Each structure stands twice: as C-alpha cells, then as structure tokens.
Amino acid sequence: MIKPILAWGGVTTGITLCLAAGSAWAQQSQPGSSAKKYVPPKTPWGEPDLQGIWPLNHLIATPLQRPEKYGDRRFMTEEEFAAAQKSAQARNKRFESGAIPQADSGTQVMRLTSLISEPANGRFPALTPKGKELYEKMHGSYKPGQTVFDSPDDFDSWDRCITRGMPVSMLPRNYNNGIRIMQSPGMF
C-alpha cells in the first residue's frame, strides 16, 4: 500500500517540477531572444536532475481546500488578493514575534484560491463507502471526536512523530516546509 502512495507522491512532485522547468524554458526560448538556450542539469545517467531540497514556504498562505466563499473561482480578485497579502503579513508578524518563532513564514501570497483544482469547486469530494469504512478504523489526535487514548495503538504515525505520510508531507504546513528529492537510475 505504501509503495503506490510513495510512487504517486513522487510522480506528482516530478510533474510539478517538470512543468515549472518547462515554463522557465518557454520564457527563455521566446523568438528574438538573444539569451543562450537553457540546458537543464542532468544526472550522470542522463535523466533530468531534480535532486535537492525544495522549499514550499511560498504555499503556506494557500489553503488546500477552497473556502466556499470563492465558489468555482480558481483565482482571487484584486481586492481579495490584497486582503490575503495583508492577512499573511499579520500571520507572519504574529508567528515571528517572541523569542522563538512559532512557524515558518509564508513570504509570498499566491493568487490561487486553493491547491485543489479538481473538482471545480476546489474541495474534497464526499467519502466513498470504502473511504467511510477506513475513516471509522482510523486512530489519532486529528480525528474529530476521539478523545480517549488507552494505548500507543490509539496514536497514528503523525502523533508519534514518525512521519506525516504521503501526500501530506508534500503540502505546506506551519514548519519544516520542503521536499527532499533523491534519485537513482530509474527511480525518483
């Protein structure tokens, strides 16, 4: 079960990074441009080199699910964007105050209303019957209504600081934002 989830997370990250690299390539290859053609770095075995630590702080201010007030709109209006920037600045000031910062700062506000783009409303669809069955078996402090913890089995791997899992670890959180990508021939 974990291998398909890890593979899905790796493929999603790879596609995102490739799209970003493609966008940069397209901007540099405009007709009439005197800039040298960009050649992306390659691994010793000839694949695109995506290895490294990729910070995600620029996504902190973008919610995973779209707030209902945005409906099916993928992007904020100018007024909403200005309000989001002001809110992010207030959040950063609040979290960075004191002797020890409480969270990483989201230094950039995106115009996206959510990270989810499908379905059109940017929200999670309702759970399937199988999803509901699995949810009922779930343990952990993040399950609403679960307040009794009698044994270590009542805590999930998140609670025990083992892992945030995939794809959750690819999403922006309050701290430790970033993805470390390692590659070997044929593996990502």
Whether 96 is covered by a domain: the verdict is yes
Q: For residue range 118-164, what is the model confidence (pLDDT) as tens digits?
A: 999 999 899 999 999 988 877 766 666 666 677 777 777 767 676 66
Burial 102-131 (b: 16+ CB within 10 A, else e): ebbbbeebbebbbbbeeeebbeeeeeeeee
Say how many domains are in the chain: 1
Task: Measure CA 37 to chain center.
Answer: 30
Whether 188 is covered by a domain: the verdict is no
**In this structure, what token pair is assigned to residue 78?**
């100018």
Q: For residue range 30-83, what is the model confidence (pLDDT) as tens digits?
A: 555 567 898 889 999 999 998 888 777 667 778 889 999 999 999 999 999 999
What's the pLDDT score for residue 138?
75
What's the pLDDT score for residue 80?
93
Strands (E), 11-117: 52-54
Whether 187 is covered by a domain: the verdict is no
Highest mean pLDDT among 77-86, 100-109, 158-167: 77-86
Whether 149 is covered by a domain: the verdict is yes
Whether 64 is covered by a domain: the verdict is yes
Range of the domain at 137: 2-181
Whether 8 is covered by a domain: the verdict is yes
Whether 186 is covered by a domain: the verdict is no
CA atoms of 171 and 164, how far apart (whole Å)? 10
Whether 66 is covered by a domain: the verdict is yes
**Global pTM?**
0.54
**In this structure, what token pair is assigned to residue 184?**
């070997």
What's the pLDDT score for residue 148?
67
Contact (CB, 8 A) for 42 and 48 = yes
What's the DSSP call for residue 161?
T
What's the pLDDT score for residue 120?
92
